Amino acid sequence: MLNKRSAYWLILPAVLVIGIFGAIPLFISLAYSFMSANPYGGVQAPLTFGAYVQMLFDQDFDGSLIFMPDYFWIAFRSLYLALATTILSLVIGFPVAWYIVCQSPGRRKVLLTLVSLPFWINTLIRTYCWILILRDEGLANKLFGWLGFISHPLPLLYNQGSVLLGLVYTFLPFMVLPIYATLERLDPRLIEASYDLYANRYQLFRRVIWPLTKPGIAAGTVLVFAPALGSFLQPDLLGGGKQLLIGSLIEMQFTSSRNWPFGAALSMLVTFAVILSLAWQRWRTKRAAAAQAA
């Protein structure tokens, strides 16, 4: 065991590097979100709430504010797509996690590697694969045509469904792994006891497994929800610009629109949503722990 002072010195470089280049930029961006854009892509001094007002209102010619819901709908669409991604990943991921837990240790290792390997493969490339499959002359349309289902290619790409598919495809492993980690710690005797007390499979799931897996589900929910909310590549490549989400909107403020304060304000909105979801996760985990202790 090291003494406390050397522990401080050892973690200091990590804290400094991530503090300076990771945390401080967040605060600088918060400050940026209260400034106004200058035409050259930078910011200028007067402090305003302009960037936040811009999210909901547009300035009329006479300077009065009129309600403009465009950005609100983008934020709303991002939110519900992120939620849909989370729910779909949970519905698909839970049975897979349960299946893996039920296997022998050797097979578990193989299956876990298979589930986690996509995480290390470039998201850009994983998303691109779906363009190959879904585009008009892509594999899916070829297959449907060959089977005689369709005479004209279906517009499978560039809609909300394709974006959702891309999001679930990208973030599914994030749901399986934390659920697996909690299921693995589950005491099998509890399952056997509930069978001895005449629980059927549904009751076993609803009354024993699900409550005990809540911390893992909460962790998976945050791990899927947070990156899905700020996603850029999936809506950009699979949504084709028609399905603008908040991530693409932020990116545009730094490339084509050159409105840095608005982009900063939007990313603060995303950060705030992520902090809220983390707080929710902590609360759920604590509640689950308290319920187990009682």
Partner 1 sequence: MATTMQTAARRKIRPFDWRHNPGFGIFSLIVMGFLYLPLAILVIYSFNANRFVTVWTGFSLHWFSRVANNGDIRHAAWVSVLVGVLATICSTAIAIAAALGFERGGRFKGEAAANSLVMMPLVVPEIVTAITTLIFFSSIGFHYGVLNLVLAHTVFCVPFAMLPIQARLNTIGTAYEDAGRDLYGGEWRIFMRITLPLMVPGIMAGAILAFVTSLDDFLISFMVSSAGTTTLPVYVYGMMRLGVTPEVNAISTILLVISAALALVAFLISRPNEAGAAASAATPAATATT
Nearer to partner 1, 16 or 65 (CB): 16
Residue 288 found at the interface with partner 1 (CB under 8 A): no
Q: Which residues contact 288 (CB under 8 A, 6 or more apart)?
A: 211, 212, 214, 215, 218
Nearer to partner 1, 65 or 110 (CB): 110
Q: Exposed, middle or buried by CB within 10 Å (0-12, 13-18, 19+), for 46?
A: exposed
Q: What SS3 class is residue 255?
A: coil
What binding mask, one character per residue, do residues 132-171 give for partner 1 by CB under 8 A, x or -? xx-x-xxx--x--------------------------x--
Among 182, 213, 243, 259, binds partner 1 (CB under 8 A): 182
Q: Tell me the residue length of the chain.
A: 294
Among 54, 173, 212, 239, binds partner 1 (CB under 8 A): 173
Among 53, 129, 276, 291, binds partner 1 (CB under 8 A): 129
* Helical packing angle, 246-254 and 260-293, nearest 10°: 150
Among 22, 46, 63, 148, binds partner 1 (CB under 8 A): 22
Stretch touching partner 1 by CB under 8 A, among 51-59, 65-73, 95-103, 144-152: 95-103
Identify residues 202-261 at the interface with partner 1 (CB under 8 A): 204, 215-216, 219, 222-223, 226-227, 229-233, 237, 247, 250-251, 254, 260
Task: Report in angstroms how near the CB of residue 59 gets to partner 1 at its nearest.
Answer: 24
Task: Report in angstroms how near the CB of residue 250 gets to partner 1 at its nearest.
Answer: 5
Distances (CA, A) of 256 to 23, 95, 292: 26, 44, 52
Among 111, 163, 164, 238, binds partner 1 (CB under 8 A): 111
Identify residues 38-77 at the interface with partner 1 (CB under 8 A): 42
Among 45, 47, 60, 113, binds partner 1 (CB under 8 A): 113
- Residue 199 and residue 49 in contact, taking contact as beta carbons nearer than 8 Å: no
Q: What is the C-alpha to C-alpha distance for residues 152 and 245, in angstroms, rounded to an integer? A: 29
Task: Report in angstroms how near the CB of residue 97 gets to partner 1 at its nearest.
Answer: 9
Phi, psi for 39 (deg, rounded to 5): -60, -15
Residue 289 found at the interface with partner 1 (CB under 8 A): no
Task: Tell me how many residues contact partner 1 (CB under 8 A).
Answer: 106
Q: Which residues contact 222 (CB under 8 A, 6 or more apart)?
A: 277, 278, 280, 281
Residue 26 found at the interface with partner 1 (CB under 8 A): yes
Task: Report in angstroms how near the CB of residue 241 gets to partner 1 at its nearest.
Answer: 10
Among 52, 57, 98, 144, binds partner 1 (CB under 8 A): 98
* Most distant CA atoms of the chain, gap in Å: 76
Q: Exposed, middle or buried by CB within 10 Å (0-12, 13-18, 19+), for 223?
A: buried
Distance spanning both ends of the chain, measured CA to CA:
35
| Alpha carbons within 13 A on the beta-carbon side of 221 | 18
Among 49, 69, 109, 287, binds partner 1 (CB under 8 A): 109
